[in-house]
Amino acid sequence: MEITKKIDSTAIISVLVFSAFIATFNETVLNVALSGIMKEMDVTAGTVQWLVTAYMIVTSIMVPVTAFLIQTFKTKNLFLSALGLLLLGTVCAACSASFVMLMISRMIQASGTGMMIPIMMNTVLLVAPKERIGLAMAACVCAVSLGPAFGPTASGIILRYFSWHALFIALIPVIAVTMLVGKMVLVDVVEITKPKIDYLSVILSTIGLGAVIYGISSIAGGSIIVTLLSFIIGIVCIIIFVKRQFNLVEPMLNLSPFKYPKFVIGILLVMISMMTIFTMNVMLPMYLEGALRTTSFTAALALLPAVLCNGIATPIGGKIYDKFGVKWLVPVGLGITGVFLLVLVQFNSETSLVTVIITYMCICVGVGFTMSPSQTHSLNQLPKEYYPHGVAIVNTLQQVSAAIGASLFMGIMSVVQLKILETGNVTNEVAVASGFSSATTVAAGIVIVGFILSFNFGRGKIKYS
């Protein structure tokens, strides 16, 4: 009986992790293809960027909503619904002939992704053996971090031989087979309580998160008035949403996890880690193509060694967490990340490609040692009944931090680059390198703040609820 349970747990975790990997892979799968889509569909750079921004907004909105859905519908049915939406959006995207159709398809995909992440995290927390929960959660973090990391690399290879439609066509059979396997191995593990849905909370969270992320994404090139208005509307809606959750008998998202200080610190460390790796996967190709004059194919391949290093380091970090906890693991991980980000700051238009690849590999190792243990340790501070809400909070803020990081650092990079070009005394390669260096400096500063917080986070013994 013990062996059977172990095999079932492994199968369930494997299917969920792979499903989440495929779902998050879609977040960045179009990044390398945006230039081609912009020309083919005759849209501006600001317009085409919405294929990424809209995806992140819908994903961020769906994560907290899924915290309610998890307690309302059976696990297997919810899983199949999430993958069904992902499949529907992928089929529509493959057939899209207009920008509007493609963006709607991306939003359908994103609704499935937003559901899949908390379904995976919450289910794994319940089925994984407690003595191996660190390794199990590391696998979950691998899915969430490696999916977007592999997106540009895989699409760069495919786009060398096929059109962007092939990116979606290739995913259709993969998603369909995953649905069939999931239907066979998944079991219903969450107690169905059927809480009453508060529609006003859904509306407030949707407007709040959507407006804030839109405001952040429009900082670099949008109207100042529109940006400020978006921030004001978003923040006001979020404040009302938070107050409403504390007053409801059955809140849509239970914010009680924020009463646990180490949970809060852990969330901040997860956000910093996600912000770092997601943003670097966007900025580095631009630096490589703009400053080092590589092709988009070479830039995509240059990310692959670092992605693999992150994939290796993450489960190793999970195993170390299971044995020793986070007392030194997380500070070491953030220390490695911060040191090599400071090395990255020194790079210019003459830096060798090999040096960039090796440095980014070290950064990804640091993130691998940080993100999963931080997430696991923060969730382990919560009572079992708070798991769905803790998972929803973690994954919502992961998506939000990715959006914030990409918008903030890309904005800094763009502004510095334009200011330097306005002087007329430098080449575009030097300007791109300077913008990249400035943005990386800010990223390194944020990681250093996380490094300081990590020492308090690791005090005490591991707690399993």
Read off the tokens for 13.
């975790």
When comparing pLDDT for 463 and 262, which is higher?
Answer: 262
Residue 215 falls within a domain, yes or no? yes
Domain contains 149: yes
146 inside domain: yes
Q: Are residues 210 and 188 in the same domain?
A: no
The model's confidence at residue 363, banded by pLDDT at 50, 70 and 90, is very high
Domain boundary among 172, 193, 214: 193
Higher per-residue pLDDT: 254 or 166: 166
Query: How many structural domains comprise the chain?
Result: 3
State the pLDDT at residue 354: 93
Q: Is residue 123 part of a domain?
A: yes
CATH number, domain of 362, equals 1.20.1250.20
**Pair (246, 316) in one structural domain:** no
Residue-level pLDDT at 390: 82
Q: Which residue has the higher pLDDT, 213 or 335?
A: 335
As given in the structure block, the two tokens for residue 115 are 């559901």
pLDDT of residue 333: 92
* C-alpha to C-alpha distances, 153 to 4, 117, 123, 171, 315, nearest whole angstrom: 38, 22, 30, 15, 22
Q: Is 357 inside any structural domain? A: yes
Q: What pLDDT score was predicted for residue 1?
A: 36
pLDDT band, very low/low/confident/very high, at 4 (cuts 50, 70, 90)? very low
Which of these, 161, 121, 141, lies nearest to 16 by C-alpha position?
Answer: 121
Q: Which of 177-191, 215-229, 308-322, 424-438 has the lowest mean pLDDT?
A: 215-229
- C-alpha 87/C-alpha 173 separation (Å) is 9
Question: Residue 169 is encoded by which pair of tokens?
Answer: 């066509």
**Arithmetic mean of pLDDT over the chain:** 83
Angstrom distance (rounded) from CA 227 to CA 166 = 35
Where is mean pLDDT largest: 220-224, 271-275, 427-431? 271-275
Domain boundary among 173, 193, 213: 193
106 and 226 belong to one structural domain: no
Note whether 357 and 314 are same-domain residues: yes
Task: Compute the distance between CA of residue 454 and CA of residue 247 in angstroms, rounded to an integer.
Answer: 33
pLDDT: is 208 or 83 the higher one? 83
**Same domain (yes/no): 59, 144:** yes
pLDDT of residue 217: 67
Determine the Cα–Cα distance for residues 429 and 348; give it in Å rounded to an integer: 9
CA atoms within 13 A on the CB side of 74: 7
Q: Which of 193, 221, 242 is the last residue of a domain?
A: 193
Pair 266, 238 in one domain: no
First to last CA, the chain: 24
| Domain presence at residue 465 | no
Q: What six digits make up the tokens of 60?
A: 């961020």
Q: Above 50 in pLDDT, residue 462?
A: no
Rounded to an integer, what distance in angstroms lies between the CA atom of residue 200 and that of residue 203?
5
Each residue of 315-359: pLDDT tens digit?
A: 888 788 877 777 788 899 999 999 999 999 999 888 999 999 999
Within this chain, do residues 266 and 357 fall inside the same structural domain, yes or no? yes
Both 238 and 139 in a single domain?
no
**With 60 as the cut, is the pLDDT of residue 46 above it?**
no
Specify whether 244 is located in the same domain as 262.
no
Determine which of 8-12, 98-102, 375-379 has the lowest per-residue pLDDT on average.
8-12
Q: With cut-offs at 50, 70 and 90, classify the pLDDT of residue 219.
A: low
Domain shared by 133 and 232, yes or no: no
419 lies in the same domain as 349: yes
Asked if residue 300 is part of any domain, the answer here is yes
Contacts (Cβ under 8 Å, ≥6 apart) of 91 = 168, 172
Q: Is residue 393 within 8 Å of 382, Cβ to Cβ?
A: no
**Span 146-173, mean pLDDT?**
85
Residues above pLDDT 90, as percent of the chain = 25
Please, which pLDDT band fits residue 45 given cuts at 50, 70 and 90?
low
Q: Are residues 143 and 270 in the same domain?
A: no
Average pLDDT over residues 398-414: 77
Q: 113 in a domain, yes or no?
A: yes
pLDDT at residue 64 is higher than 80: no
pTM of the model: 0.76
Residues 401-430 have a mean pLDDT of 79
Among positive and negative, which fits the CA dihedral 241, 244, 245, 251?
negative
Contact call for residues 365 and 305 (beta carbons, < 8 A): no
414: containing domain: 257-460
Per-residue pLDDT reduced to its tens digit, 416-425: 887 888 877 7
Q: For residues 139 and 315, is the Cβ–Cβ distance under 8 A? A: yes
Is the pLDDT assigned to residue 297 strictly greater than 50? yes
Residues 250-263: tens digit of each pLDDT: 777 778 888 888 89
Q: What percentage of the chain exceeds 70 in pLDDT?
A: 92
